[in-house]
Amino acid sequence: MENPLTPDVLADPVALTRALVDIESVSLNEKFIADCVEEVLRSASHLTVQRYGNTVMARTDLGRAQRVVLAGHLDTVPHNDNFPSTLRGDLLYGCGTSDMKSGVAYALHLAVTLPEPRYDVTYFFYEAEEIDSRYNGLFLVSQAHPEWLMADFALLLEPTYGMVEAGCQGTIRAVVGTTGRRAHSARSWRGVNAIHAAGEVLNRLAAYEARTVDIDGCTYREGLNAVRIQGGIAGNVIPDRCEVVVNYRFAPDRSEEQAQAHIREVFAGFEVEVVDSAGGALPGLTETPAREFLAAVGEAPVAKLGWTDVARFAALGIPALNFGPGDPNLAHAPDEHVEIGKIRDGAAILHRWLASH
């Protein structure tokens, strides 16, 4: 199959978005789109290109005083009668239009059309963001080639509807368990009902007052909620085990260790097992490239309420922001779409930021 990413397409972020959307790349099936991106990047003499799995990295080496990263994932969730793309007026519909091939189009367009940016730039086009983190291209690169990620500032091109979303929340999933003693339900007094005991867990959740934290002018709202409950053996048995799965979204002023300790404090007296944990990322607004990017945008940033791969950069001490044209509320939806005007506006902002001297 021929590469649809022709020079004419690469010159126009809107046409490039549509061409990328029309390359099927559901998670773990990114080989062809990675091949296409790699071919385009290798044709640009000002870039050094490396590949690891289906993650493609390209970088300038112009001797600039600072280096920035532009990163976007190539994969999408499975299609939902929304492939290939369709254009309806000023809206481009299709799987990945918002999350996040319009953002990827920004990076690829700039990589091939801006040979002398004001900073040295590393571009990442990575695999498997939408599934388990062990497949994530940035994670795999951080293990195999951490030097590829080194920079003074990173911009993750996730959908933000054209706003700058600073940092991200951390997230923890934990299982809060209660125990009892089995008995026949006809003689329930001989047992101890573990499901009834879970009532106290739910009471603590209902009474919980989540923090609102202001960091560098960005307001992060925390949340601690039950997301699943399971227990019971049979219709005539008093259960001896019940588990409530809770999800804690915490502001990035807390470390993972502090957040886990907080959960254990909230549920003191119960078994608590942390089953999934990821730290957040501070806003990262102080470095010169970040300040100059914000000046190019011309609007104040807001807090990212959710977890994104900016946390992977933050863990390496690299400040990072989220910025992309798509509406995050449309990500993964059957009617996923992106506004043509948002693509053009964002592309102009990034060009103004990187091309100015």
How confident is the model at residue 1, as a pLDDT? 82
Q: Annotated catalytic, 75?
A: yes
- 86-88/91-93 β-pairing: antiparallel
Q: How far apart are CA 247 and CA 244, in angstroms?
A: 10
Please pick, among 38, 75, 127, 222, the residue that the annotation labels catalytic. Answer: 75
How confident is the model at residue 356, as a pLDDT? 65
The 10 Å Cβ neighbour count of residue 301 is 24
- What are the residue ranges in the chain where pLDDT is below 70? 356-357
Fold type of domain 7-168+281-355: Aminopeptidase (3.40.630)
- Tally DSSP H helices, then E strands, for the chain: 10, 19
How confident is the model at residue 278, as a pLDDT? 93
Q: Is the pTM of this model over 0.85?
A: yes
Residue 87's alpha-carbon distances to 52, 83, 157, 182, 287, in angstroms, are 34, 12, 22, 60, 39
Q: Annotated catalytic, 129?
A: yes
67-73: strand order across its sheet:
48-52, 55-59, 120-126, 67-73, 153-156, 320-322, 165-166, 302-303
Q: Which CATH number fits the domain 170-278, given the four candidates 3.40.190.80, 3.10.129.10, 3.30.70.360, 3.40.47.10?
A: 3.30.70.360
All structural domains of the chain with their residue ranges = 7-168+281-355, 170-278
Please pick, among 30, 99, 127, 129, the residue that the annotation labels catalytic. Answer: 129
